[in-house]
Amino acid sequence: MTPSSYFTYAPTDKNGAHTQRPANPADVLVSVIIPIYNAAPFLDQALDSVQAQTHKNLEIICLNDGSTDNSLDIIRAHAARDERIVIIDKQNQGYGATCNRGLDEAHGEWIAILEPDDWIEPGMYRDMLSFASTFNEPVEIIKTPYWRISLPDTPRQRKLNCSYKKRVHVDKQPFVITDAIHLLHHHPSIWSAIYRKSFLNEHGIRFKPIPGAGWADNPFLVETLCRAQRIVYLDQAYYCYREETKEKTRAFHRNSPNVPFDRWNEMLDIIESLGITDERILCAHYSRGFMYMSGVIEENDPDDPAIHAQLERMFNRMNPELVYQYPRISPGCRRLYAEVRGLPKPNVSHLQYASNLLEQGVYNLRNIGIYGTLDSLGNYLIKYRRRTGGR
């Protein structure tokens, strides 16, 4: 199907203008990009979940990124049973370059991404496309929440709502990102959305070819959401995301402390290149920076020269007035910010920040229950001083 055949012209509206209505969404081709590197323990589940989608018109692009396990054998076994699977066997280049190869090879009108250690529920693409088809203009991004799979593959595995479920409230759809700032505060979760391929091509949006995994989803998140003029949000989760263990997360921050700072700076580069000055977007991005910083200094000394240099680099790009006034940034983080930048100690409102924590606690109770809320609160209080450099 060509892009032009996806739309049929409806009768003119009251102003005499034609409105475009999508044709049957079941006919739309979706290209599902799966970047695969040593994912054998999980790959059958991931591929089964795509093949079981109730939306059948799929192109399933499996990119074997130089795996040294039997991932390629698993892909070939699935491809022998499903002609929709395309296999690209390539040398190892990392997540970003591999996704870019998938984008270049894709023929679908829509692009979906599935990480090979995750899985999706059967109605994901059908429901997203049906939802988009109810609008009179071509949508660029269809976004949903996702399921957090906590303590995966253990007897304590739990399926939890993500941190923006029921939080995205817009007056009208489609919308732009300033109408739904919450989407910029949380986990990038680029795979819980699908993207119109012509939108990505028009703006030259691609992943940074960073070696390894490298958080290449971060710049992609901010560029897609900040460029899009027609986003729609369906508050139904389908994507099941296997969360990292706490031990693995801690090891990452010890071994790769520069990655969160580098990706944050690249995201701000994109924001600045787009000429964005909206304080809501800047504050959301500053808040992300402090969140990333906190993860790093939990496992590293903030006074270590290399870490301190990263703090200076990031903080020097932030507007002090916005840092001091934004309630999501903790008093300890603001004091660390002022200290590193050599600014006077800020006057911070503990009441304002406590109010923000209370609001978050009430939301968590509704969203993930009392057990999840107590676990989250306990972890936050235990690590607060370390996450703010003891300030």
The domain spanning residue 58 has which CATH number? 3.90.550.10
Instruction: Tell whether 239 and 255 lie within a shared domain.
Output: no
Instruction: Tell whether 237 and 258 lie within a shared domain.
Output: no
- Indicate the number of domains in the chain: 2
Is the predicted pLDDT of residue 84 greater than 90, yes or no? yes
Instruction: Tell whether 23 and 165 lie within a shared domain.
Output: yes
> Domain ends where: 212, 243, 274?
243
Res. 212 pLDDT band, cuts 50 70 90: confident
* pLDDT given for residue 53 in this prediction: 98
* pLDDT given for residue 7 in this prediction: 30
Instruction: Tell whether 16 and 127 lie within a shared domain.
Output: yes
Q: How far apart are CA 240 and CA 159, in angstroms?
A: 8
**Residues 330/333/337/343 CA torsion (nearest 10 deg):** 60
Contact 259, 249 (CB under 8 A): no
Q: Could you tell me which residue, 364 or 175, shows the higher pLDDT? A: 175
DSSP letter for each residue of 66-110: S-SSSHHHHHHHHHTT-TTEEEEEE----HHHHHHHHHHH--SSE
> Domain ends where: 222, 243, 264?
243
Question: Residue 379: exposed, middle, or buried by beta-carbon count in 10 A (0-12, 13-18, 19+)?
Answer: exposed
What is the rounded average pLDDT for all residues in the chain? 89
Is the predicted pLDDT of residue 161 greater than 70, yes or no? yes
Is the predicted pLDDT of residue 362 greater than 50, yes or no? yes
Dig out the tokens for 139 from the structure. Answer: 């949508």
Instruction: Tell whether 184 and 255 lie within a shared domain.
Output: no
Instruction: Tell whether 150 and 222 lie within a shared domain.
Output: yes
- Scanning 235-326, the segments in alpha helix (DSSP H) are 246-255, 258-273, 279-299, 305-315, 320-325
pLDDT in tens, 39-49: 999 999 999 99
pTM to 2 decimal places: 0.88
> Domain ends where: 243, 274, 305?
243
Instruction: Tell whether 87 and 34 lie within a shared domain.
Output: yes
Instruction: Tell whether 72 and 204 lie within a shared domain.
Output: yes
| Full residue range of the structural domain in which residue 379 is found | 249-387
Instruction: Tell whether 206 and 261 lie within a shared domain.
Output: no
Question: Residue 135: exposed, middle, or buried by beta-carbon count in 10 A (0-12, 13-18, 19+)?
Answer: middle
Instruction: Tell whether 134 and 19 lie within a shared domain.
Output: yes
Instruction: Tell whether 98 and 229 lie within a shared domain.
Output: yes
The values of phi and psi at residue 57, to 5°, are -80, 80
Instruction: Tell whether 332 and 239 lie within a shared domain.
Output: no
Backbone CA torsion sign across 104, 106, 107, 112: negative
Q: In the sheet that 85-90 helps form, which strands lie side by side, from edge to edge?
A: 85-90, 58-65, 30-36, 110-113, 193-196, 141-143, 231-233
